[in-house]
Amino acid sequence: EGGAAAAPVATAVEGVLGVAPAPTPPLVALSPTNPQPVAFPSMGSECYVPAAVEIDSTQECNCSACEVFGSTWLRGKCCRPEMRGLFATILAFEKDPLWLPRLQEFSACTGARVVITYNPSGESGMEAALRQDVGVRYQMADGAMMQKEGAGIYDGYVVQAPWLPAIEQSLENLSPWIAQTDSLNWLDINSMSRQTVSFNNTVRALPLDVDYIAIGWRQDVFEAHGKRPPETLDELAELSEFFNGKDHNGDGEPDWGFCLTPQVNYLMAFVAPHLQMTQRACRRRSGILQCDGAHTGQNAFFNISTFEPFVRNPGFRRAIELFRRVLLSSNCPEQSKPEGTTKWAIGRCDRKEAFKSGKCAGVISMPSTLTSMLKPWNKGGNNAPQPRRDLARRIVWEPKTKDGTHWGRRSRFPGASHVLDPATGLLRKCDSELCPKAIPHSVTGELVNYAPFFAEGGESYAIRGDSSSRRKQVLWELFSWLGTLPANAVPLSGFYRESQISGADGTKQQELALEGWPDEMVEDIVELLRYYFLDSETGDASNGYQLGNSVMDFLVLGFAEYMQDLHRIMITDFLMSPELLWGSTASAADFPSERYEQATTKLVAAYESRTEDYGRLQQILRWRESLNIPFMGLSELCRELPHMAKELECLKYEDLDWAFTVLTLVGIIAAVAILLLCCAGAKKVHKDLKKKRELERERQRAYRETVTSAEDELGKLGFPMVLTMARTFVNMGSLVPYEDLRDRGELVFLDSLQKAVEFKRDKFIVFLSHQWLGWGCPDPAGVHYETMRHSVNGLLQRAGPISSLGLQLDADMGPADMGVTDENLFVWCDYTSIAQDHRPTQILAVSSLPMYSSFADVFIVVAPPATHVDSGQQCDIGTYNQRGWCRAEMLSKVCGTGLRQMYIVSELHGDLAQVDEAWLDRLDFKVFHGDFSCCHLGHHNVNVCDKQNLIRPVLGLYSLVLRQRHCDHALTMLNYINRSKDEFFPESFMFHMHTGASEARELFGPLVSLLEQHVYQSDDLGVLAQRSIERPSEDHSESDSEDLTSPLSTSRGSPLVLSEE
């Protein structure tokens, strides 16, 4: 673990652990014993290689370093044997002096050694460096896979989201790590940052920053002219033009309006509010706006069905017109002139240099740079307006407001009052229907559509997937620990967590004040990020349920090339062309329409060329995935993308009659020449085709039968639901098999759904789901049983009389004072409730799993740390979630009754942790990609895989979700499934035998599309209920709600509800 380490993409390796503060001795010494240049043409440079890293494994740990900045992440991890002496490497693209003290503290605490290497090409060459070290894997335009192995020299990386699509499959899937680490507080990270590092429901990097566009403005300049900060882009352009030519720094010279650097991210910030109003259809429930309906396809770049660029439309043109007005009144016309032409000409636009001069009334920028511009010049404001001094070095001018408050202010990026109407393709004034998330203008009251543009997604930490497990553990601990530190203590970090801007006690604001932030700046950043971090679908009660409308950057394969085209054509050749910037046509009043049309034509052509290179269909799917739009199966794609029928192979061997006719005709013609031979041949072809058609018809009949039987089985119990009284269960001493409990008469059998309904009128059921800890024995050491017993006792202790312990039941459920006791609480557990010795009976019970879990009042995942006695594997919530049967049980629960009353217990005597929608990103419900013991054992003595036995139950669950698609919990699950439907329902799998032989077997084939057709063609959403339960007539629907009642709801109403008092 601590051997040689080469660094092929670094001209200089920073020995961040090479010199530690006295009296601590050196932690890591770099020994470049082989400094020979190694050329990597793709990197465009030659690099020196430090051949070895020597580690001082005798150094003593300093446990006080484990709790610097008050973080408790490393508490109890001081000098752990499994960490001490280990070595890991990180490749980064930007230096930061904070790396040195942080890595020293981490090493002093854990004894692990981490070295960071900087890519010599910086940010511009980092994507190439990542591809070279990690490797690439993606589908090309012709459908073939582009796959190149990486050098595998570094263990971790500092990355940006646009670099991830080509390498994400070779990065470590961090979802299981996150699922096991509640203290990481994953959901505290803003939703946009989480989305930019997630692919196919797997997290591939940990965010440490977020990049968005905002404006800074000088209060001293604005108040001098009686102006307010802009709320719309039209006002931004008007203010910039107003301030241009006025003196802002007291030197008697004309200055500029809003300063900027002409980059594509700032240009797209103008485009975004004109094109995106909401990504999901909106509705009002109980007077509260919720936008979690169908996907609208709105975004700032490409059509999600055709991949046509959003360029030739009046919204894009309006954005270009406004951007040009700001550009012409900014620093650019003067700064970009050849150096020496004027006093301020430097041959380029540079917003930082411009703002330092004091000549800007405002600025458009990214967060960290904006902070350096707005802070006082003597408190870290490196790019703030610098004071002007006389010959005696006395300050004769610096920015000041009239009342002495701080001059540097920050505001959200302005919105658009007129947006592109998707229905008509015309620019239209915002109204509540077109712009459901719009905010009224503070003066005019007109609706303004805000759409904060999150450029590039910010920086994140990633780990190489095939690095050693021990090195991955080191980096996970390091990156997670850094995530718990204050933002100002973390390299390259900024505000990206909601907790960094919240806190009623004002602690966060006090921290910023100590860093030199004036009160006005603190208030501004808190107010801005509270809006930028708003949830885009359900809103935030603390903000009047206002919904966010964040716009994602174009995070797909080819990002850099597309953006290069945009910059070259629209900015360099059009907006910044000399004749339009300085010449006779450099007037905001005269928009160069002909030049604009030429530019947009070139841009569309360039985009189309890139798209053909990467594959249109592949880009459509990648863009939909990036936008978090549910993944579609082949049948859905064929319906939604008819223009892609050829690429999708939608017309694959569908007309056997046509083939038969052609071949028959050929046989007849051939018979003229060679009558006997061709007649025989034609007869054989006819016979073969007829047989093939008959086989195909039989196959289709079998498919249809599977679909209908999947629904039929969902509406009935294939095997009785078998329960154990809680009193018996907690006193068993260990898990007892079904057969023993049956023979002792300690089981309760519910033979039908009707009996189950009647049973639940005055009784409760808890469903216990767990991973087996032995091939033939579920719980050899009793760890799971002890956790189950503790959980059941916890339910009994929490669920006493309703009035005192908060157990809430609907009025029709039973006596008002009914509580949960060890006599009316019953337990379902696989080992005690399913036959273990009789395989056919076991299969029948398995087919009824969806009904079992749907009828449970409480579903508990039991996953404390434990060791598998046969494999030696350490088992916990992560390994539980890898098991196919565990996934099937969770899927049954969520499809049946949603996430209500679903809990996880991850410690031996741990408390019940509520599972909410956020867990959908941490748990994996793809059953057929889970691990099955029968597969591990090579299907010894069995010819059917458990995966095959689960086809009908899972199809039934999908049918249930589709039929309840108007219910919130079903819609949530449907969206989850659609993100990766092909993985959720694999067409086939490899059946591996213990002899070493393997064969491909069909799983779902076309069953999913057939089921969808079957469900959508049915007008009766209650068909399942009619097959199973006679529903009561009482109306339990919630007022002002569009949800339908679940077909599987029992007659006594809601399940057991445990309050969180």
DSSP 756-794: HHHHTTS-EEEEEEE--SSSS-S-TTSHHHHHHHHHHHH
The separation between the first and the last C-alpha atoms of the chain, rounded to the nearest angstrom, is 49
Report which secondary-structure segment, H or E, holds 108. helix 99-110
pLDDT of 799 = 46
**Per-residue pLDDT for 1056 more than 60?**
no
CA distance 156 to 461: 7
Whether the CB-CB separation of 318 and 311 falls below 8 Å is answered with no
Report which secondary-structure segment, H or E, holds 859. strand 858-862
Q: Which residue has the higher pLDDT, 638 or 171?
A: 171
**pLDDT tens string 131-182:** 999 998 887 877 777 888 888 889 999 999 999 999 998 999 998 898 888 7
pLDDT of 805 = 24
Q: Kindly indicate the confidence band of residue 52, based on its pLDDT and cuts at 50, 70 and 90.
A: very low
State what percent of residues in the chain have pLDDT above 70: 80
Preceding omega of 23 cis (within 30 degrees of 0): yes
Query: 591-594, long-range: CB within 8 Å, 24+ apart, which pairs?
Result: 591/321, 591/324
CA distance 895 to 854: 8
Q: Kindly indicate the confidence band of residue 921, based on its pLDDT and cuts at 50, 70 and 90.
A: confident
CA distance 608 to 716: 53
Q: 975: closest CA among 279, 295, 173, 281?
A: 295
Q: Kindly indicate the confidence band of residue 47, based on its pLDDT and cuts at 50, 70 and 90.
A: very low
**pLDDT tens string 394-408:** 999 999 999 999 999
Sheet holding 13-14, edge to edge: 13-14, 113-118, 87-92, 156-160, 459-463, 206-207
DSSP 972-988: HHHHHHHHTHHHHS-SE
| Alpha helix (H) residue ranges in 341-496 | 351-356, 367-374, 469-483
Burial of 168 (0-12, 13-18, 19+ CB in 10 A): buried
CA distance 429 to 440: 13
Q: Which residue has the higher pLDDT, 752 or 504?
A: 752
Look up tokens 């009239």; give the residue: 402
390-404, 406-420, 979-993, 1016-1030, range with the lowest pLDDT: 1016-1030
Q: Kindly indicate the confidence band of residue 671, based on its pLDDT and cuts at 50, 70 and 90.
A: low
Q: Which of 469-478, 646-655, 913-922 reaches the highest mean pLDDT?
A: 469-478
**pLDDT tens string 228-257:** 999 999 999 999 999 999 999 999 999 999
Report which secondary-structure segment, H or E, holds 264. helix 264-275
Q: Kindly indicate the confidence band of residue 311, based on its pLDDT and cuts at 50, 70 and 90.
A: very high
Q: 84: closest CA among 156, 5, 2?
A: 2
Q: Kindly indicate the confidence band of residue 715, based on its pLDDT and cuts at 50, 70 and 90.
A: low
State what percent of residues in the chain have pLDDT above 90: 43
Look up tokens 């009647």; give the residue: 758
CA distance 13 to 968: 53
DSSP 13-75: EE-TTTS--TTSPPSEEEE-S---EEEEGGGTEEEE---EEEE-TTPPP-GGGGGGGG--TTT
Beta-bridge partners for 952: none
Whether the CB-CB separation of 84 and 27 falls below 8 Å is answered with no
- Both tokens assigned to 892: 């049954």
Cα-atom radius of gyration of the chain, to the nearest Å?
33
- Both tokens assigned to 525: 């950043």
**pLDDT tens string 182-214:** 778 888 888 888 888 987 778 999 998 889 999
| CA 370 centroid distance within chain | 27
Report which secondary-structure segment, H or E, holds 805. helix 802-805
**Per-residue pLDDT for 928 more than 90?**
yes
